[in-house]
Structure 1
């Protein structure tokens, strides 16, 4: 912008933060970018226009080396657009050098403005950072891991007046589907400023991002594996649309394979109490072994799976057996085209007289045609659980199996993905106040409400909305609720398929939130709002140990899932890092206590019983058992591997055991009553 004669007082704002900056009449074309911490302007050192000149902060003076323009190509240009802000050497690790350079359209010259005032390098995901958090004139500005601190916050009118998300991309469709590729296309989204990117996903997992003028792309797929493809639109300010409808695909096999694997060999079985451990020698196959199926007394009781690049394991723990009983086992191998080997040798073993093992027995206490999601135990010992797609709550007597629908939660809307009726908690004074705390997706957002349960009836007239405005999307809605020993309500929220939300401490998304029971903000929260920790992708599991520490389970994208020990105000790194990959070793990020390959994880539920963490996994179809040692989880044993399929929720039971629910059918859609799920009780040793 050019200012006329005399001084002009401009109010420059980012993410709702405003400040008065005096700009003299001789201001050059362009707009200032002001450091929140110092009040000084982003400035090209020495007014030089030479390539590779650095940038610093300096008193705002209206000269041409402080006049910046943001272009539709996401460039920050200076000197009447002659030069671009540039990352030296296209470096993507912190610290990286910021400089000016002749504009060339490369990714290291593209920038986006986050809602918390950060200016983020598109290529690196790093933030413009005033070195050492200093405030003096001539302090250099470089790039560092985004941390939300004031030396990474800037006030400007560039790029951030836009808070309107694009419309939903239309008519997603596929063509040219072959064994390892497909062409995915869609109709253009619209936006008040302009669509900058389209982000293509399958089942909540980001596959690729393409420029906003691109309406089709080729995707790499896996033969024989069913995926649901969809696309989101994103503008330059980071606003993300709701997702398109889902297009399911199942690529054909690349070549016919009729040759079965060889039979697994050398099967052995050993008993420890009522738990049996099996081990065998790997089978071979002309293409590759994809899984082993385990049979006990001729009935399939588990599966050990691999991937296209990782062979399946060759051991299995069969737990919760009857004491002093003889069992007979064999194992078969499968390849990707369902060719099945012959049986291994048979191994026979007799269990001990008593359990003496971590997991002693499993009893099915209920079934449901919808997906049980949040689950609590009421004071009388009955169970209460939410039905995600049906939007109602069921009371279950675990002794008789009797079920009662206590009511439908108002204003719930599913997302054609993983949104709907989610987390559930009860107040510490439930016996007298009858409050249920519920997290759900509405037509506009995700929200936390409380409703009274009077007897077997949900009193919907008593509903109070405690917190609204949590962004929703098809996937990444979080949803778990847990009361802490401090009497506060903790909630996990997903990033709504926009990683920028996770690093913005003014956003409710990609966070662990902490509320007073009446919905107000606790006075000791670290950022003066509901945010307790940040940098999360899609956290769901929440549980407290005997020391009152909060453990969290989080979905990764395509590399690692995480179990985290949550600390007040902690930054857990998303989207810059996933698990321990990426820039997770950067100072300021808190590393997970344990990670799992996504093929062996995708875990939603977590419970702590006697300072042992239990983790329920969907894609991994298993329950992890990880004893807490100090502040670490040094080891994790696997139980029920493929025995019950996808496991969604695990909760402590009053007798010191666990409640466990499955999530096998209809998990990626919003169709009610298209499931066949189990509610299980696990007796622990």
Structure 2
């Protein structure tokens, strides 16, 4: 688990844009072209990471310590300040290596073999001075002036945390270091082109592409499906064999990355539909033992498991002959149907399905009559409007009218909740899609909207993500948008996009990592962050780093909401294992890319643990809302609504609703009358094609 921490140490240095990430693939044995230094070319004004030739790992201050005597180890590269070193000239061809994290220098306390390397206050002692001796392949050996011995990875270990010691100079690869200068290259490669697939089977496929170009050289290609990283390969590769899931429909694409960590825009998407491994025409058996129990206007349906010659993959629930929900997995044998009419008789049946969409006959019917009044959280659900485009951001005006953005059509619509009437307020200028999840994203209005009527919008442009505001007068959007924030990196996916005004009157902005995980840890970059700005885009004086950054270490946050205590909750997409709900604190580091949920290197000092995690297959939640200190999460892949009680200690009494009833849920927002707005995102949400959807805007009446 990540160790909770309310603050981040102020000694963390700010890296320049485009810091290096390449050696994360050192386990592949990749030799990465990069701006390297030799004994003759070291720059005392630059920062370096030192990469061991044997292990591919880098010189690291263990545990990010700042005290004298803290040990030095090797660790997987993340380019944190605790892995950055500056060469200070001591004269006579010797240098001291100063940590950008602690300000201390490398030191050997004695001249004995196997003495561990530590950091100490800079006294310019000979034990703190090192000569760079060139080795082949652009590597150097670091020879200590006091003992004449080399900086060595103990026992040639390749493990994270292995000790760094001194040992007589043998020239071994565990004594050779590659000096990679940070910030020397800020130009990303071009996008890979012409993706194509071959050799598609039920378990694998070959993806090929045309080469990208770069001013220095492409170091890696990162291969994704639908925003999830699958693998990375060396820059010399033009194809890769991928493992796929039978029956899945995936959009595959490739990003290029250079040695300085600059990531290209994503290449085009190629869609595959994976065949099943064996023909199966046998449906599951019919579920038995179906019961339905009413509690107010909610009905709980339960049944006994069905069987199948291959395997049951889920169940579908029919209400009065129409499918109203579904479950995933053979073990889930219950469903909660919410928001029903009072004093009404309903008939339920259940059918089982397998991986090849064979369905059983429906079960025998059971009937139930709802109670006279709502006794649960969700009392009624009304489809107020539909749209052929994706309703992504949504905000409620003081008069109860609703504004929502059409993501791929780039316009904003006013919705009358009473009649369902829609009025287009016009397109947002300067928007460009990303052939993925870009367009018009978050929308927000301030609490004093009536007196100061601005509509705040986050959108992708041809070059970046940005936040603008547009005047709303006379019931329409008027004038040229004012640009409040620019330079937020964009890509096909991972654009974040949610906006929320806090009780402090500041605007909070969720930004994705732009498919470059190192940016999430880079305080000089606006990607992978929660930002906080004044309503005119200026930086509040109490922000932790003197920039818009409020918290960092986020992958792709898309949910922001405040509770009655003024605490900020955030919902974040994981890659393929865990999504997470976070409680955001000023200056907090939430761990990405080292940590996903509670997996990975989550014990790094200073990382803040999530309040709750969810398997990606059951979540992928995008929008969140707080109503009467209950947190509601609208989930895409999970196709459900989570509800959790907010307590002093976190989240409790987590329940699921609408499981499969309305498909993928994108946005959750409080309504003016104490209810909830939900929007769906069931079609066309992984491209930038306008009006290829069939979506719903739902009004939820809440009970307790």
TM-score range, shorter chain: 0.7 to 0.9
Structure 1 residue aligned with 2:256: 233
Q: Once the 2 structures are TM-superposed, how far is the Cα of residue 583 of structure 1 from its aligned partner?
A: 2.5
Determine which of 191, 194, 198 is the counterpart of 1:171: 194
5+ residue gaps, structure 1: 114-157
Q: How has the CA–CA distance of structure 1 residues 623 and 159 changed in structure 2, closer, same or farther, with 3 Å as cutoff?
A: same
**Is the contact made by 1:2 and 1:27 (CA closer than 8 Å) also made in structure 2?**
no
Q: RMSD between aligned alpha carbons?
A: 3.1
Q: Does 1:91 align with 2:171?
A: no
Q: Give the alignment of 1:578-589 within 5 angstroms.
A: 578-589=596-607
> Could you say what secondary structure the match of 1:432 adopts?
coil
The C-alpha deviation readout for 1:389-443, integer Å capped at 9, x for no partner, is: 1111011111111111111111111111111110111123321322111111111
Q: Does 1:208 align with 2:219?
A: no
**Is the contact made by 2:132 and 2:142 (CA closer than 8 Å) also made in structure 1?**
yes
**Is the contact made by 1:291 and 1:303 (CA closer than 8 Å) also made in structure 2?**
yes
Q: Does 1:78 align with 2:142?
A: yes
Q: Give the alignment of 1:304-343 within 5 angstroms.
A: 304-306=327-329, 311-343=330-362
What is the rounded CA distance, in whole Å, between the counterparts of 1:407 and 1:103 in structure 2? 68
Q: How has the CA–CA distance of structure 1 residues 63 and 416 changed in structure 2, closer, same or farther, with 3 Å as cutoff?
A: farther
5+ residue gaps, structure 2: 1-36, 49-78
Determine which of 100, 112, 116 is the counterpart of 1:36: 100
Q: Once the 2 structures are TM-superposed, how far is the Cα of residue 67 of structure 1 from its aligned partner?
A: 4.9
**Is the contact made by 1:112 and 1:159 (CA closer than 8 Å) also made in structure 2?**
no
What is the rounded CA distance, in whole Å, between the counterparts of 2:133 and 2:664 in structure 1? 51
Q: Give the alignment of 1:432-443 within 5 angstroms.
A: 432-443=451-462
> Could you say what secondary structure the match of 1:431 adopts?
coil
RCO (CA 8 Å, sep 6+): is it higher in 1 or 2? 2
**Is the contact made by 2:512 and 2:554 (CA closer than 8 Å) also made in structure 1?**
yes
Structure 1 residue aligned with 2:45: 11
Moved more, 424-433 or 296-305: 424-433
What is the rounded CA distance, in whole Å, between the counterparts of 1:264 and 1:110 in structure 2? 64
Q: Once the 2 structures are TM-superposed, how far is the Cα of residue 69 of structure 1 from its aligned partner?
A: 9.1
Q: Give the alignment of 1:49-128 within 5 angstroms.
A: 54=117, 56=119, 59=123, 66-67=130-131, 78-79=142-143, 86=153, 89-92=157-160, 96-99=162-165
Structure 1 residue aligned with 2:89: 23
Q: How has the CA–CA distance of structure 1 residues 242 and 297 changed in structure 2, closer, same or farther, with 3 Å as cutoff?
A: same
Q: Give the alignment of 1:113-192 within 5 angstroms.
A: 158-192=181-215
Structure 1 residue aligned with 2:268: 245
What is the rounded CA distance, in whole Å, between the counterparts of 2:684 and 2:192 in structure 1? 24
Q: Does 1:562 align with 2:630?
A: no
The C-alpha deviation readout for 1:579-616, integer Å capped at 9, x for no partner, is: 11223244422111111110110000000000000000
Structure 2 residue aligned with 1:353: 372
* Count of residue pairs the alignment pairs up: 626
Determine which of 488, 501, 525 is the counterpart of 2:506: 488
The C-alpha deviation readout for 1:2-40, integer Å capped at 9, x for no partner, is: 899xxx99433579x999975244215xx8642235544
The C-alpha deviation readout for 1:314-348, integer Å capped at 9, x for no partner, is: 11000111111111111001101011112223221
The C-alpha deviation readout for 1:215-251, integer Å capped at 9, x for no partner, is: 2111000111100011111122221111111111111
**Is the contact made by 1:494 and 1:509 (CA closer than 8 Å) also made in structure 2?**
yes
Q: Once the 2 structures are TM-superposed, how far is the Cα of residue 505 of structure 1 from its aligned partner?
A: 2.1
Q: Does 1:661 align with 2:679?
A: yes
Structure 1 residue aligned with 2:24: none
The C-alpha deviation readout for 1:166-213, integer Å capped at 9, x for no partner, is: 221122111111110001111222222222211111001010111222
Structure 1 residue aligned with 2:245: 222
**Is the contact made by 1:198 and 1:233 (CA closer than 8 Å) also made in structure 2?**
yes
**Is the contact made by 2:190 and 2:212 (CA closer than 8 Å) also made in structure 1?**
yes
The C-alpha deviation readout for 1:557-588, integer Å capped at 9, x for no partner, is: 11111111111111111111111122324442
Q: How has the CA–CA distance of structure 1 residues 84 and 10 changed in structure 2, closer, same or farther, with 3 Å as cutoff?
A: closer
Determine which of 423, 427, 430 is the counterpart of 1:408: 427
The C-alpha deviation readout for 1:294-318, integer Å capped at 9, x for no partner, is: 0011111001123xxxx35111000
